[in-house]
Amino acid sequence: MTGLPRRHWTLPTPPGPSPAVAALSVAVSYVAFFLWPPISLLVLPGLFLARSIRLLVIGVLLSPWVVIPLVSYTGGVVTYFNGTAVLREQGRPGGDFWNLDPELRCHRSTSG
């Protein structure tokens, strides 16, 4: 057979998605979330630079707007069903502080 070798007639592959860009965007989003939460929403569009739907979905699922509420809710459910849930408050305890909460049937805790 005559002609060019196989390596010369294959199409070049476009650059793949960049997991480093997605990871950096999520990391910056966490830092921004604890400094001032609304600004972390401005960082998430950086996930579009990853050029992959899969990385975009993973990045959004790992963002602080999803992870922090999920961990908080899960922790509350686990402690409630274990019987160790408390309502955390700040300041001095009131007159009915030592009674169970009538709606949630759990104790109160204060840090002040």
62 vs 112, residue with greater confidence: 62
Range of the domain at 112: 74-112
Let me know whether 58 and 78 are in one domain: no
Let me know whether 104 and 82 are in one domain: yes
| Tally of residues, the chain | 112
Let me know whether 78 and 58 are in one domain: no
Let me know whether 88 and 110 are in one domain: yes
Q: How many domains does the chain have?
A: 2
* Prediction pTM value: 0.62
pLDDT over threshold 60, residue 13: no
Which pLDDT score is estimated for 77?
A: 92
Q: Is residue 4 part of a domain?
A: no
Task: Find out whether 22 and 55 touch, Cβ atoms under 8 Å.
Answer: yes
Q: Report how far residue 100's alpha carbon sits from residue 105's, in angstroms, rounded to the nearest whole number.
A: 6
Which pLDDT score is estimated for 40?
A: 79
Q: Is residue 32 part of a domain?
A: yes
Mean pLDDT of the chain: 75
Q: Among 11, 19, 13, 12, which residue's Cα sits nearest to residue 51?
A: 19
- Return the SS3 of 76: helix
- Band (pLDDT 50/70/90 cuts) for residue 36 is confident
Let me know whether 53 and 29 are in one domain: yes
Task: Find out whether 52 and 88 touch, Cβ atoms under 8 Å.
Answer: no
- Band (pLDDT 50/70/90 cuts) for residue 12 is low
